[in-house]
Structure 1
Amino acid sequence: MSQPSTAPGRQHRTVALAAMAGTTIEWYDFFIYALCTGLVFNQLFFQGFGEDSLIISFATIGISFFFRPVGAALAGHLGDRLGRRAMLIATLVLMGAATTLIGLVPTRDSIGMTAPIILVFLRILQGLSAGGEWGGAALIAVEHAPTGRRGRFGAFPQLGAPLGLLLANGVLALMTALTTDEQFLAWGWRIPFLLSVGLVAAGFIIRRKVEESPVYRELKESGNHSRTPLAALFKHHWPLVVGGALLFAANNAVGYMTTGGYVQAYSVNHLKINPTTILICVMIAAVTWLTSTMVGGILSDKIGRIRVYQIGFVIQLAWMFPFFALLNTANTGLIVLGLIVYSIGLGLTYGPQAALFSEMYPTAVRYSGAALSYAIGAVLGGAFAPMIAEALQTSTGTVYSVGVYLTGVTVVGLVVTFFVKERKDVPLGDTATDGQHDEQATVTA
């Protein structure tokens, strides 16, 4: 049998925690860049563009997203052919190397235009890593889990995003508190990037102990694995890729208001809030996001992945404009309140994702399918979300125009949920081959 339900509970938890540890480090690395975009890079690397320096700086976040599908396709192909475990280690090392090197790049005042070019190149490497990382972490956790608890265990790699955000904001808040503005711009911002060396070393040790997925091992032993998983994916399952991408785009655009640094930059540059203060506010929200993500995963085992998604999207829609109204007060307490409720909807549309995306695809193309849905959704939703938000706010003179944009994206995600089938109780091994796509389609025609 392909299901690991008879494996000891300790093994399930060990795998889930290893997946969470790795994604936390990955997202810490990824978010540190995004957070420094509006606080540092616009002043040190893109200052020659005048009033457009902040928008151009945010655009570099989006550029890396276009390389996520490349990373997802490469890691997905190798992950479906060689296994999930090897890709977990490779993507972690790539992300850590790129992040550490960012902390060593000279500024534009030192080496001219070469500085932003190097910075963007290293951000692209981060994008390649992020594109392949999530699929492996999600699958290794879900494919080890018992059928009735895939939502719970699949939520662990999802926790890496709020934990990474919490860690990134915490380290930056500490550095801004311990240094003057001049010191922070001179060298303080580099410390969080250089810390990645130690974090990646710890993650490498943890992930080396993870065994290969039992579902994937059975597939290899049966000889049914695909030699061309990407071709099989797009031949038989392309509607699933599109559906999954639109679901994640609706979550990702909303999430990137904080993870992409827009809220932080808007608060500092327009509301004149102290950087340390707003970073702490986002840290508090990250704890709520963390909790609601875990709740979303657990709840999805009880009432279904789709129902939890729908609840989360409705909360996002209902709270969008109240959130921006509270943010505009520049009152710390009200901003925290706004971010907390905002993060609840975000978590409920993020917690069930690993389980849902894993259940959407047959084992033979599961890594490729889940990773590409995630990566393409990130391009559609998060790639230029901070830049779009900044451009909208600047051109209209009101932050509520950002709310209109995010409302539209969320509506698309909510609509997609009504075309997705619930498969929470279907054993993953029952979808081990890629030739039965008609019976297994998850997105209805």
Structure 2
Amino acid sequence: MALSSPGSVTAVPLPPVESDAETRARLRTVTAASLLGTTVEWYDFFLYATAASLVFNKLFFPDQSSLVGTLLSFATFAVGFVMRPIGGLVFGHIGDRIGRKRTLALTMVLMGLATTLMGVLPTAAAVGVAAPILLLVLRMIQGFALGGEWAGAVLLAVEHSPARKRGLFGSIPQVGLALGLALGTAVFALLQVVLDDKAFLDYGWRIAFGISLILVVVGLVVRLKVDETPAFRELDRLSRKASAPIKDVVIPPNTRNTVLGLLSRWGEGAAFNTWGVFAISYATGSLGLHRVPVLVGVSIAAVVMALLLPVSGILTDRLGARRIYTIGIAAYGVLVFPVFALFGTKNLIWFTIAMVAVFGVVHALFYGAQGTLYASLYPTEIRYTGLSVVYQMSGIYASGLTPLILTSLIAAGGGTPWIACAYLVGTAVISVIATSLIRRSDVHFE
């Protein structure tokens, strides 16, 4: 062992240099782990959303009126978003202290177990009030687990990526979200095609939840093969980990970016849960459209989004995350009223065209840039916690409450959607202003 002379500093060994073949192999594994992992996690989370629109209001709140049952069902949906910030703080701290890889494995196991157990829950007809209580507890576990998933998946991709392809790699976890939503709605649509209404309500919906166990095993195997990110390994090497990441996220110089990040996400969260969650209930309830083609329309839009998200990532690398995100959010705000006008035709073709335009195309534009934008707001040692705070804290008002807010505003408007549309446009305006105020000097990479 070589000894250093008095007063000298012992050199810290540098990590071995990768060959080009090793780099390509690592990036392929990272891509697969990020994509499969987020697909499984979001399949689980939004499977609940679809079930809340079509099943849970009948099986777990059967003694309520149609409107009240739907509101209660969406309330349990919103609870998942309330739990996500708690999970984000816990797993963000763990991720910044022990690493991204192990934290992501833990969140996936928790999410898979909660979703699988939902598939075997007794209904209110069997156990009375215990049924919605058990459903609520499992939804809370889902939200807690997902609280640590998104930020970790983004960092797994972004911190492994080449500098010139950071936007492209940052869009990969978002593809998983779109595929998870498409898979969930497609499975529900298929089950309703092959089963009659009674069979679907009796046991068919449970099959969709049982599939989660298979997906989790596959996703976990792939995720465990990926290496820890180079950025986190560098923190380990230099012993630069933050002792209290959450404190550093909310105090200067990070306060400004945290507040602007929370506000900039309002439009995206409201948009996703309008088109991916509320639109299903609105179309099948208020508009009287058949469930299967509505689910197919949402699935088509989600697939289009998945295909276009990498395009958004490429544009992010060329034009910058803030610019792409701002343009996309502004386009969403402009299209809200026309889209609901097309919904009002009660024509399935126009419904699908509107969904593909606003959800498949426009949402893909800004959502693909989001991960890279928020990852750039914080230094490596607090990045997991910072992303979790911005994404999950905003999820309470921006995402989880959206179906409840829109349902209530449409009821207050006598069944017309225009007050609800004004609310959605307002979220877009707030997000555009907040994103525009993020200064280039405040970001850590772009």
Name the TM tier (shorter chain). over 0.9
Task: State the identity %.
Answer: 37
Q: CA deviation at 1:4?
A: 9.0
2:59 to 19, 44, 61: 44
**8 Å contact 1:292–1:348 — kept in the other structure?**
yes
For residue 48 of structure 1, report the CA deviation from its aligned partner: 2.2
Aligned residues: 427
TM-score, structure 1 normalization: 0.92
Q: Deviations for 1:218-249, whole angstroms, at most 9, x for unmatched residues?
A: 11110111122222222232322222122222
- Inter-partner Cα distance in structure 2 for 1:269 and 1:67: 28
Task: Say if 1:148 and 1:424, in contact at 8 Å, map to a contact too.
Answer: no
> Are 2:283 and 1:267 aligned?
yes
Query: Deviation at 1:9?
Result: 3.1
Kindly indicate whether the alpha-carbon contact (under 8 Å) linking 2:378 and 2:443 is maintained by their aligned counterparts in 1. no
CA distance in 1, matches of 2:212, 2:282: 27
The two structures, once aligned, show a CA RMSD in angstroms of: 1.9
Partner of 1:331: 347
Measure, in 2, the Cα distance between the counterparts of 1:230 and 1:306. Answer: 24
Q: Is the contact between residue 26 and residue 226 of structure 2 (CA under 8 Å) also seen in structure 1?
A: no
Q: 1:287 to 1:5 in 2, by over 3 A?
A: farther
> Amino acid of the residue matched to residue 163 of structure 1?
L
Greater CA deviation, 263-272 or 65-74? 263-272
**Equivalent residue letter for 1:379:** I
| Whole-angstrom distance in 2 between the partners of 1:205 and 1:103 | 23
1:305 matched to 2:317: no
**Distance in 2 (alpha carbons) for counterparts of 1:24 and 1:14:** 15
1:97 to 1:116, Cα distance in 2 relative to 1, 3 A = same
Which of 1 and 2 has greater Rg? 2
Partner of 2:419: 401
Structure 1 residues 10 and 427: CA distance shift in structure 2, 3 A: farther
Q: Deviations over 1:34-55 (max 9, x none)?
A: 0111201111111223241111
1:299–1:425 CA distance, 2 compared to 1 (3 A) = farther
Counterpart amino acid of 1:37?
Answer: A
1:174 corresponds in structure 2 to 190
The amino acid of 1:238's aligned partner reads T
In the TM superposition, 1:14-413 aligns within 5 A as 14-50=29-65, 51-236=67-252, 237-260=254-277, 262-343=278-359, 344-396=361-413, 397-413=415-431
1:253-307: CA deviation from partner (whole Å, max 9, x where unpaired): 11102332x1111111122211111000101111222133222111010011111
Aligned to 2:439: 421
Residues 124-159 of structure 1: CA distance to partner in whole angstroms, max 9, x if unpaired? 001001110011110011000111110001110111
CA deviation after TM superposition for structure 1 residue 426, in Å: 5.6
For 1:424 and 1:152, the matched residues in 2 are separated by 22
Shift of 1:427: 5.4
Is the Cα contact below 8 Å between 1:75 and 1:87 reproduced in 2?
yes
Deviation larger for 270-279 or 136-145: 270-279
8 Å CA contact 1:71, 1:131 repeated in 2? yes
TM-score by length of 2: 0.92
Q: How far apart, in 2, do the equivalents of 1:171 and 1:29 lie? A: 12
Match in the other structure for 2:9? none
Once the two structures are overlaid, the 10-residue window that deviates more, 75-84 or 229-238, is 229-238
Task: Provide the secondary structure at the position in 2 that maps to 1:105.
Answer: coil
Q: Is the 8 A contact 1:246 1:413 kept in 2?
A: yes
Report if the CA contact (8 A) 1:321-1:400 is conserved: yes
- Distance in 1 (CA, whole Å) between partners of 2:255 and 2:441 is 18
Q: For 2:378, give the aligned amino acid.
A: Y
Q: Equivalents in 2 of 1:413, 1:10: separation in Å?
A: 38
In the aligned structure 1, how far is the partner of 2:35 from the partner of 2:342? 32
Q: Alpha-carbon deviation of 1:315?
A: 1.2
Identify if the C-alpha distance between structure 1 residues 4 and 20 changes in structure 2 by more than 3 Å, giving closer, same or farther.
Answer: farther
Q: Is the alpha carbon distance of 1:427 and 1:345 closer, same or farther for their aligned partners in structure 2, counting shifts above 3 Å?
A: closer
Helix, strand or coil at the partner of 2:367: coil
Q: In the TM superposition, what whole-angstrom CA distance separates every residue of 1:101-120 from its partner, at most 9, and x where no partner exists?
A: 01111010110100000001
Residue range with higher mean Cα deviation, 21-30 or 63-72: 63-72
Cα distance in 2 for partners of 1:234, 1:403 equals: 33
One-letter amino acid of the counterpart of residue 368, structure 1? T
Contact 2:257 2:442 in 1 (8 A): no
Task: Report the 3-state secondary structure (helix = DSSP H, G, I; strand = E; otherwise coil) of the residue aligned with 1:145.
Answer: coil
Instruction: For structure 1, list consecutive stretches of 5 or more residues without a partner in the other structure.
Output: 429-445
Q: Which residue of 2 aligns with 1:9?
A: 24
